[in-house]
Amino acid sequence: MGVEYCLANHKDKTCFELGKGSWYALCQDRNRTGHECLLYEDTICEMITEEIWDHNIRNAGTVGKEDTAESWKEAAKRLAAQIFKFVNDADPTEISLVNDSDDSESDVRDKGYRWVGSRYKGDDLTILNRHLKE
**Tens digit of each residue's pLDDT (9 = 90 or more) over 86-130:** 999 999 999 999 999 998 999 999 999 999 999 987 778 998 999
CA distances 45 to 113, 120, 122, Å, are 25, 17, 19
The reported pTM is 0.91
Q: Domain limits of the chain?
A: 5-132
Pairing between strand 95-99 and 5-9? antiparallel
* pLDDT at residue 134 in the model: 61
* pLDDT at residue 94 in the model: 97
For residues 118 and 128, the answer to whether their CB atoms sit within 8 Å is: yes
Which pLDDT band holds residue 64 (cuts at 50, 70, 90)? low
Q: Is the pLDDT of residue 63 over 80?
A: no
For residues 15 and 113, the answer to whether their CB atoms sit within 8 Å is: yes
Query: What is the arithmetic mean of pLDDT over 16-31?
Result: 94
* pLDDT at residue 61 in the model: 80
